């Protein structure tokens, strides 16, 4: 089984609110180069037993979100998980 965490920003790079993600925000920081950037994000967690299909879907979604939200990058974390 795979777990995916999709980190979606609530604001565009210019600071204007993003129309797509109107959900509850979490404060997060990301270390890029020697600068620290802070953003409010929503983390969507997905568990699936079909990782190939999920990966294809998430890569397409990532490209769309980068374009629509005017972001340089959208972080998606993939990891193996075991369920109890």
| Number of domains composing the chain | 1
**CA 11 to CA 74: how far, in whole Å?**
12
Which residues are paired to 75 by β-bridges? 7
* Residue with the larger pLDDT of the pair 48 and 31: 48
CA–centroid distance for 68 within its chain = 13
38-68 pLDDT, tens digit per residue, is 678 889 999 999 999 999 999 999 999 898 8
Task: Identify the pLDDT of residue 23.
Answer: 39
Q: What angle do CA 62, 42, 13 make, to 5 degrees?
A: 65
Domain housing 58: 2-80
């Amino acid at each position: 089984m795979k777990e995916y965490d999709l980190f979606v920003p609530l604001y565009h790079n210019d600071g204007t609110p993003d129309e797509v993600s109107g959900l509850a925000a979490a404060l997060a920081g990301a270390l890029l180069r020697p600068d620290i950037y802070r953003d409010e994000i929503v983390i969507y967690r997905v568990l699936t037993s079909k990782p190939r299909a999920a990966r294809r879907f998430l890569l397409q979604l990532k490209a769309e979100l980068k374009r629509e939200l005017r972001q340089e990058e959208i972080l998606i974390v993939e990891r193996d998980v075991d369920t109890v």
